[in-house]
Structure 1
Amino acid sequence: IDGQTGEELTYGRLLKLSIGLALELKKFGVKKGDVITILSQNNWKYLLTVISGFYIGAKINLPNPDCTTEELKHILSICQPALIFGSAQILDKIVEFGPKTVITFDETTSTGTTNFDKLLEPHGDNDAFNPTETDIKSVALITTSSENRGLPKCVLWTHSALRLSLVSAGLPTFTGMNEKESTIGHSPFFDIFGNTIALACVYYGTKLVVLENFTLENFLRIIHIYKITKLFTDPQILHYIEKSSLLEVYDTSSVNDLLCVCTIINKDLEEVVKRRLNLKSVRHIYGKIGGTAAVTISPKNCDKIGTIGKIVTGHQIKVCDFKTGNLLAANQIGELRIKGDGVMEGYLGDHSPPFDSDGFLKTGDLGYFDKDEFFYTVDVDRIKDVIHYEGHRISPAELENILIQHPDVKDVGVTGIPDEKAGEVAMAFIVRQPKKNVTEKEFVRYVDEMVSEEKRLHGGIDGQSGEEINYGKLLQLSVKLAIELKKLGVKKGEIITIISQNSWKYIITTIASLYVGASVNLLNPDYTTKEFEHFFTLCKPTLIFCSAKVLDKIFKLQDLIPENIITFDKAPSPQAKYFDELLEDCSGNEDLELVDVNPKEDIALVLTSSGTTGMPKYVLITHSSFRVSLMCARLETVGDMNEKDTTLGYLPFFHVFGALVSISTVLHGTKLIILEKFVPEIFLKAICSYKVTKLFAVPQILQFLAKSPLLDRYDISSITDMITSTAPAGKDLEELVKTRLKNMCVRQSYGMTEVCGPITLAPKTNTKAGSTGKVLPGLQLKVCHTENGQALPSNQVGEIRIMGETVMKGYLGSDESVFDEEGFFKSGDLGYYDEEEFFYIVSRLKDIIKYKGFQVSPVELENILMQHPAVKEAAVIGIPDERAGEVPLAFIVKHPEKNVTEDKLVRYLNERISVQKRLYGGVKFVDEIPKNSTGKVLRGKLKELL
């Protein structure tokens, strides 16, 4: 079962499809012993490909899809795959060095790739298929090790090792998998544990709900809906279960067996989890990641807290002194060494695997066994991380387990740092819970009270999270950065590009760039290499500031990127300089001479248009336009931003809406809480914790606020004013939000990048549901006939055209005329105004559906469909029709727990609209609606689905 869409696939169907795919693989020329690589998140197609590969004797290579381009290049050079399966977005990383045959799991394809679904078209010769015979000692899987240092290794697993894991999974003394059980496939399928759990479900007929990306709410929702009986988790999930209030929302009583895989947990955490899930025991599975499958498991209802259990059939374990290699007796801590059928064969291309003279794998894990032969781990995969303090060996995990119990600690890591006298001392890196102000000294005392002297945090604490910067400090840092920009040779009129998620460094960089007269180009970090190539070719940046995550993509464009690349976070590349080190280079005693600019002519911002109908364009915003938009934010009749307000900076700073909000807070002294991106729980927690008063939103956030059950768990009554923009929100949705959040003033705004933000805004004292308000100061609007361009009176729909201070100078590198003869910008948006000069947005001119001479707005139909309880998302487009010209077709994403047919939705809409607006094109159910970074529907992408 697909955990996101609810799509179901029986094992009989899986068998049929896997045979069909195996036949196609043979047609591609895949032979026994060839390597097939899969680069993808979890999905049913992943499992199907693994099984089909086994049928024809291929070796299946499973790299982590989050590997860097350098890591993937290394892995593929060793494995030499005959073909690669994966998602289109991930396959973009290997376009330059991957094999010729590439098959994409999603519907997006590009030149040289094949769509997976086309390979699964019915085959008539399935019954004649014969699997390829293979030696049981031959290689079945090639996974990658999770190396903390250096490039990953390719781990070889034989059919024998895989078979042992699958057979053991059905034993009542092991995991007891059978057709009555149900579990969640959230552990990565590229990991040996996640893969064997999923394959064991197929082998024993266990119901498997596949989860592509883990979030706690999705995890608990699936348990609730599908009555999950068996859970395979890791310590991080147990910490979520320990602390999250979401457990009170979802029914998890169906779970009767919980197994924690891979890593140790402390006794206190285990007890809390047992109590919260009403379990008699939490069981543990131990295996060496990248070295063995499961080699120990704790039995059901075991009363030994913290044990990883007893040895699984087919294995031997010994405990050795990790210096001498001598065998140790019960209750003596040493290195765990393992031998047996479930142990890896070795490393591909590496002839020095870590086996001792007796053939036991040296795991690098510390542990021991008791008199009953139950095993315990002390520190997993971290012999090299053990801290050597004055001859004592200190376990980082022991200290981490103590610190994580502190109520103010969100996350923690402990490491050793050099010390002249002691050799090494323990230092803790701590992420505090939001709004917690516990000092480093208090954390040190907390640990001191619980451990012996040698284990204390003599290296101290590095605290993170909740970092605050006042505006005085912001001024100081922005001046220092501007001085450094000048030293790097940045001159007036040159372009500085920022490619990053939201952060305070983003804001400082924008301000510092304006100080020196540079134009600031803000780009979406999720753009592909091809899109970056398009933008860099146009703007030719002098300097790039970015997050380390985008380096792989932009380093492919060596001919287009500048010499100076600066990362906001530390990057493992000599070609990039670290932002913090750049600021350290400035003494702070130098004077900054601001660069004079011509406000009407000089460019302040180079932004990208929404790109809903093609490649985004570069929008040129002058200093004058930017300044007027920022000043309007202060006016009581407009944004009313002031030093008494608190707002959230979660909208992307690279978008005009997010950029204006972030810089306006600096200009007007408003407290800004920065979130890297929108995550529902973090979003609500931030509002609750920081008492946010003003919220800037997009229609998708309104949908969330109107429908999400999460709101019932948080107090967000501090919000008194909400302004929504980027796309029109329906009247019904606006009223739903107002009803649910009783004290909130919900105001719609109409704006666009080409006008540097807002154009109209509903006043606080006089709002009309569904209206985007009145024209802002400094702007003129007219509504024009779409064919002859004549101005229209009130209540007549036409194209909105804008003239005024904030309108862009034009598009970079484009001679396209987007202004009429009077100088008004032709927006391409359809709308009208009423007798009181309140404006209403109908749709994009290009999106209007022309049915028998009538103009049908897709937005109107979408707003009605969104009111149906089974509809999570809706988007409407026009499709060609011989008799009518065009007819409306709706793409629908259903709520996972709701069932509704196409016919029912058609009838639902038809009962609420006139005849010409009905869904004559029908309804198509999809997994997701394609959107840009601010939530605007990409209707061109929807048409491609047809």
Structure 2
Amino acid sequence: MANSQRSSSLVDPRNGFCKANSTFYSKRKPLALPSNDSLDVTTFISSQTHRGTTAFIDAATDHRISFSDLWRAVDRVANCLHQDVGIQRGDVVLVLSPNSISIPIVCLSVMSLGAVVTTANPLNTASEISRQIADSNPKLAFTTLELASKLASSGISILLERVVDTLRAPGGLKVVGILSEMMKKEPRGQEVIRNRVNKDDTAILLYSSGTTGRSKGVNSSHGNLIAHVARYIAEPFEQPQQTFICTVPLFHTFGLLNFVLATLALGSTVVILPRFDLGEMMAAAEKYRATTLILVPPVLVTMINRADEIMAKYDVSFLRTVRCGGAPLSKEVTEGSFSRFSGGESEVRCGGVVVMGLNQTGELWLKGPSIAKGYFRNEEEIITSKGWLKTGDLCYIDDDGFLFIVDRLKELIKYKGYQVPPAELEALLLNHPDILDAAVIPFPDKEVGQFPMAYVTRKPESNLCEKKVIDFISKQVAPYKKIRKVAFIDSIPKTPSGKTLRKDLIKFAISKL
């Protein structure tokens, strides 16, 4: 995909394909981006005009925060972080928290200072989080008392969500502030002049799933985020002032970009659930008259399978849009959702373009103002010298310009929308004293999409069993990364250069179904 200058006479208006350079160009109009280079994404969003009233609702407590109260809280927290804690432009702040209204306030405050937000999955183990801390070197961590123990070994200063007995902070962690108190603190004296933020400054540092090994930090600048929000404003999937149900994790790029940033600019209301639960999600959709659901494919499959029960128990007449992504979505599931829930006209909308000819499969490369800067400490790895982002997705584009993602070059396992890197699990397996070799593959499952399955070669005379392998891994990883099936094999198939033939193992596993 590209947004660069090109001769319109060479581009097919139907699908955006230019035969001269074998590039697909977006059929959307170029974005009118702000010309001011000294602009942070928080200021850009807060300056948008709309008629929205309620910004966020906590579904668990029914606590609401209006747009005016939100921006007042963001400004107060930013002042406290700057004056009392010493957060400056370029400092990194870690967010380790379950979904809550607090996350948008913290993230927007941090970015307004020119500091960098990095997030961690609260389900991750302490060792997994410590590796991210070692790489990103945060100056401060925002967390809850329940999760603070996972930071105990880091020695990092923490900002807690609410008032607690500071003596209870685990591991001698230093509590430097309470978010709920910062939100109420009136500015004192003359306003302190903050460092000027540049659009090229890094705003967020989010970590990949680690397809080929350890996860890597991906830098996105304020300019990248502003372009993402600007596109949302220019061509929203939904009309302004809609009500969204958010069950996707806010630590993930999809949740952060959409529910912390883009929807605010439209004046929409986001109802935040702490975690996904189908019953709680549908109850919230009914209670708050939700117009939009954001789902991963396994959830949509469950909804289709339980459609009669859902329709009988909940009023979903206000629902207008279901957005689904994060894992493969079959044609059967898409059509099934229409037939079970649609009350009339239905539409599938897709976005994006690929580098190849029409109906030819190749790797998706992207280029545009919202594309991330690259990997932290290694921007060249995924960004070409000409600014193309290599996604690792295998795709094709049809005659109408619709993009279809068909596979991954690097074989991530998609479990309930979570991405699980096989290489990480393989490295752990090889630490077991009874395992000679191992390979991890995605095993298909109707309920969760895929789950990690391990092929293991035991050392001679070992009596290692499936349960022991599963237990060995489950103690070291987050729940979604657990191995759920093990098969023993004499040797792991590999190429002459020693690379695991994972696709051969996948075919073999499927043949046994």
Q: What is the match of residue 289 of structure 2? A: 691
Is 1:666 the counterpart of 2:264 in the alignment? yes
Q: Confirm whether residue 603 of structure 1 aligns to residue 202 of structure 2.
A: yes
Name 1:814's counterpart in structure 2. 378
How many angstroms apart in 2 are the aligned matches of 1:539 and 1:555?
17
- Of the three residues 64, 67, 76, the one matched with 1:471 is 67
1:619-634 residue pairs with structure 2 within 5 A? 619-634=218-233
Q: Equivalents in 1 of 2:75, 2:452: separation in Å?
A: 49
Gap change, CA 1:652 and 1:793, over 3 Å in 2: same
Superposed, which structure 2 residues align to 1:237-636 within 5 Å?
Answer: 465-487=61-83, 488-558=85-155, 561=156, 563=157, 565-574=158-167, 575-576=174-175, 577-587=177-187, 591=191, 593=193, 595-599=195-199, 601-636=200-235
Tell whether the 8 Å contact from 1:628 to 1:805 is kept in structure 2 after alignment: yes
Structure 2 residue corresponding to 1:735, chosen from 335, 346, 362:
335
Q: Deviations over 1:202-221 (max 9, x none)?
A: xxxxxxxxxxxxxxxxxxxx
2:404 maps to amino acid: Y
Residue 596 of structure 1: how far off its partner (Å): 2.5
Identity of aligned residues (%): 24
Counterparts of residues 157-196 of structure 1 (less than 5 Å): none
Separation of aligned partners in 2, 1:513 and 1:435 = 21
DSSP-derived class of the 2:166 partner: coil
Deviation track 1:808-865 (CA, whole Å, cap 9, x = no partner) reads: 111113366223354322111111001111110001012399xxxxxxxx99x95xx7
TM-aligned CA deviation for residue 743 of structure 1: 3.5
Partner of 1:556, secondary structure, is coil
Partner amino acid, structure 2, of 1:817:
E
Within 2, Cα distance between the matches of 1:846 and 1:793?
A: 22
Question: CA-to-partner distance for each residue in 1:620-671, whole Å, 9 max, x for gaps?
Answer: 00001111111222234x423512x100122111111111222222222101
3-state SS in 1 of match to 2:147: helix
Matched, 1:723 2:319: no
Q: Secondary structure at the match of 2:183?
A: helix
Q: Which runs of 5+ in 2 are unaligned?
A: 1-56, 168-173, 414-440, 457-503
The number of aligned residues is: 372
CA deviation profile, 1:58-84 (whole Å, cap 9, x unmatched) = xxxxxxxxxxxxxxxxxxxxxxxxxxx
Distance 1:821 1:476, change over 3 A: closer
- Cα 1:571–1:671 change in 2 (3 A) is same
- SS of 2:395 mapped into structure 1: strand
Cα gap change, 1:527 to 1:782, in 2 (>3 Å):
same
Q: Name the SS of the counterpart of 1:835 in structure 2.
A: coil
Deviation at 1:514, TM superposition (A): 1.5
1:714 match: 314
The structural deviation recorded for 1:774 is 3.5
| AA in 1 matched with 2:509 | G
**How do residues 860-939 of structure 1 correspond to structure 2 at under 5 angstroms?**
862=444, 866=446, 873-874=449-450, 920-922=508-510
Q: Is the 8 A contact 1:721 1:744 kept in 2?
A: no
Query: 1:696 touches 1:724 (CA, 8 Å); kept in 2?
Result: yes
Distance 2:300 2:273 in 1: 18
The aligned residue for residue 10 of structure 1 is none
Letter in 2 for 1:529: A
Shift of 1:570: 3.7
Change (3 A) 1:583 1:819: closer
- Contact 1:807 / 1:825 at 8 angstroms: preserved in 2? yes
Quote the Cα distance in structure 1 between the aligned partners of 2:506 and 2:103: 47
- Residues 873 and 668 from structure 1, CA distance in 2 versus in 1: closer, same or farther, beyond 3 angstroms? closer
| Residue pair 1:634, 1:640 contacting (<8 A) in 2 also | no
Q: 1:358-396, CA deviations, whole angstroms, 9 ceiling, x for partnerless residues?
A: xxxxxxxxxxxxxxxxxxxxxxxxxxxxxxxxxxxxxxx
SS at match of 1:804: coil
What is the deviation of 1:729?
0.8
1:793 corresponds to which of 357, 371, 392: 357
Q: Is the 8 A contact 1:653 1:659 kept in 2?
A: yes
SS in structure 2 of the partner of residue 610 of structure 1:
coil
Amino acid at match of 2:258: V
Structure 1 879/569 Cα, relative in aligned 2: closer, same or farther at 3 Å?
same
Identify if the C-alpha distance between structure 1 residues 666 and 585 changes in structure 2 by more than 3 Å, giving closer, same or farther.
same
What letter is aligned with 1:484? C
Residue 838 of structure 1 corresponds to 402
- The residue type paired with residue 813 of structure 1 is R
What SS does the corresponding residue of 1:729 show, helix, strand or coil? coil
Q: Deviations over 1:179-230 (max 9, x none)?
A: xxxxxxxxxxxxxxxxxxxxxxxxxxxxxxxxxxxxxxxxxxxxxxxxxxxx
Deviation at 1:486, TM superposition (A): 1.0
Match of 2:8 in 1: none
Measured after TM superposition, the shift of residue 611 of structure 1 is 3.2
Deviation at 1:716, TM superposition (A): 1.4
| Residue number in structure 1 paired with 2:244 | 647
**8 Å contact 2:107–2:117 — kept in the other structure?**
yes
Query: CA 1:492 to 1:848, structure 2 compared with 1: closer, same or farther past 3 Å?
Result: closer
CA distance in structure 1 between the aligned counterparts of 2:201 and 2:335, rounded to whole angstroms: 43
TM-score computed with the length of structure 1 as normaliser: 0.37
Residue in 2 that maps onto 1:753: none
Q: What amino acid does structure 2 have at the position aligned with 1:773?
A: C
Distance 1:525 1:878 in 2: 25
CA–CA distance in structure 2, aligned partners of residues 693 and 675 of structure 1: 16
- 3-state DSSP of counterpart to 1:549: coil
What's the counterpart of residue 97 of structure 1?
Answer: none
Following superposition, the deviation at residue 569 of structure 1 comes to: 3.2
Amino acid corresponding to residue 152 of structure 2 in structure 1: F
The 3 A distance-change label for structure 1 pair 648 and 918 is: closer
CA distance in 2, matches of 1:922, 1:547: 43
Tell me which of 380, 389, 399 is aligned to 1:825. 389
Which amino acid letter does the alignment assign opposite residue 231 of structure 2?
C
Classify the secondary structure of the residue corresponding to 1:521: strand
> Is 1:633–1:639's contact at 8 Å kept on the other side of the alignment?
yes
Unaligned runs of 5+ in 1: 1-433, 437-463, 747-763, 776-780, 784-791, 850-857, 881-915, 926-946
What SS class does the counterpart of residue 611 from structure 1 fall into? coil
1:803 positional shift: 1.3
- Contact 1:515–1:595 under 8 Å retained in 2: no
Give the TM-score taking structure 2 as reference length.
Answer: 0.66
Distance (whole Å) between structure 1 residues aligned to residue 344 and residue 449 of structure 2: 24
Assess, with a 3 A threshold, how the Cα gap between structure 1 residues 814 and 595 changes in structure 2: closer, same or farther: same
The alignment yields a C-alpha RMSD, in angstroms, of 3.2
Take 1:583 and 1:847, find their aligned partners in 2: how far apart are those partners? Answer: 44
C-alpha distance 590-683 of structure 1, shift in aligned 2 (>3 A): farther
Pairing partner for 1:773 from 344, 350, 359: 350
Measured after TM superposition, the shift of residue 724 of structure 1 is 1.4
How far apart, CA to CA, are the structure 2 residues paired with 1:678 and 1:717? 21
Partner-residue secondary structure (3-state), 2:281: helix
Residues 497 and 847 of structure 1: CA distance in aligned 2, closer, same or farther (over 3 Å): closer
- Partner Cα separation in structure 2 for residue 820 and residue 523 of structure 1: 28
In structure 1, C-alpha distance between the alignment counterparts of 2:62 and 2:512, rounded to whole Å: 45
Q: Which amino acid aligns with 1:671?
A: T
| 3-state secondary structure, aligned to 1:774 | coil
CA distance in structure 1 between the aligned counterparts of 2:345 and 2:455, rounded to whole angstroms = 38
Give the drift of 1:920: 4.2
Q: Please identify the structure whose Cα radius of gyration is greater.
A: 1
**1:672 to 1:589, Cα distance in 2 relative to 1, 3 A:** farther
Instruction: State whether structure 2 residue 303 is matched by structure 1 residue 705.
Output: yes
Q: How far apart, CA to CA, are the structure 2 residues paired with 1:616 and 1:744? A: 44
TM-aligned CA deviation for residue 874 of structure 1: 4.6
SS of equivalent residue, structure 1 residue 614? coil
SS across alignment from 2:131: helix
| Deviation at residue 740 of structure 1 after TM alignment | 0.9
Counterpart secondary structure, 1:840: strand
